[in-house]
Amino acid sequence: MKKLSIALLLIMATLNVNSQTKFSIEAGPQYSPDLSWRIGVNSDIPISSRLSVVPGLYWSNRHRVTKENSSYEDEGGTYNKSKESSYSANYITLPVRLGIRISRLNSINKLQILVGPYIAYGTNGNGTITKIVNGIENDVKYDSFGNNGMYKSRWDYGLDSEIQYTYKNKFKLGVFVESGFKKLYESDNDFEKVMDDLFKINTVNVTAGIVVGYQF
């Protein structure tokens, strides 16, 4: 994965010598499924007046929080308990998208759609499970990718799509969705496990976010 990332950066740097190839740095918040972030670079390589190839390299954080409340009865009475699991994981993501220009408002402003596959690898992460029984709190920390972690796999792949507006050939604003084809999350409470068995709600993972960027 490291060699692939370095190779992609070298290709992007080489292609950037061409005056028609644009290089961008981007960052912004994302939901995956809770609030996190993404930052990275990409190149826009024209192949026709309306089409371009847009390879990228991103560093992102995926964050997931689940909560469960319940009660039980014992000889001493009724007891309340709660459980909160909070996990985050950092991923390197390599998308290769086709850029389709759908509108050029003038010579320096454009609107385009980006669509293409991506592959991602989880580098590291950590999580905390907090249990509270009758007011007594107990915290346990885990490796997100370990035996007790919520993430089932370091590898992820799927489809990346984005609608993006470029202002004055410099400033970029976009909204993106990553639709993962691999099941990443392990259900860690009873309700999610039932829903997962019935509807396979965790089979597909989805990340959505906003990016702002600057194009050189």
How confident is the model over 46-66, as pLDDT tens digits?
998 889 999 999 999 998 887
The answer to whether residue 148 sits within a structural domain is no
- pTM (2 d.p.): 0.80
The answer to whether residue 57 sits within a structural domain is yes
The answer to whether residue 203 sits within a structural domain is yes
Strand-pair partners of 72? 79
| Residue-number span of the structural domain to which 109 is assigned | 2-63+91-124+155-215
The answer to whether residue 30 sits within a structural domain is yes
Residues in the chain, overall count: 216
- C-alpha 183/C-alpha 101 separation (Å) is 32
CA atoms within 13 A on the CB side of 23: 13
pLDDT tens for each residue of 145-187 = 877 777 888 999 999 999 999 999 899 999 999 999 888 876 6
Asked whether 87 and 151 are in contact (CB, 8 A), the reply is yes
pLDDT tens for each residue of 61-95 = 998 887 777 776 666 667 677 878 888 999 999 99
CATH of the domain at 111: 2.40.160.20
Question: What is the dihedral sign for C-alpha 150, 35, 112, 52?
Answer: negative
Asked whether 8 and 54 are in contact (CB, 8 A), the reply is no
Quote the pLDDT of residue 17: 46
Question: Mean pLDDT across the chain, nearest whole number?
Answer: 83
The answer to whether residue 192 sits within a structural domain is yes
Q: Is the pLDDT of residue 30 over 80?
A: yes
Number of domains in the chain: 1
CA distances from 163 to 24, 97, 98, 100, 173 (A): 15, 12, 12, 10, 9
Decide: helix, strand or coil at residue 132: strand
Q: Is the pLDDT of residue 4 over 90?
A: no
Q: Map tokens 């950590």 to a residue.
A: 126
CA atoms within 13 A on the CB side of 49: 3
The answer to whether residue 140 sits within a structural domain is no
Share above pLDDT 70 across residues of the chain, in percent, rounded to a whole number: 76
The answer to whether residue 197 sits within a structural domain is yes
Q: How large is the average pLDDT for residues 106-130?
A: 90
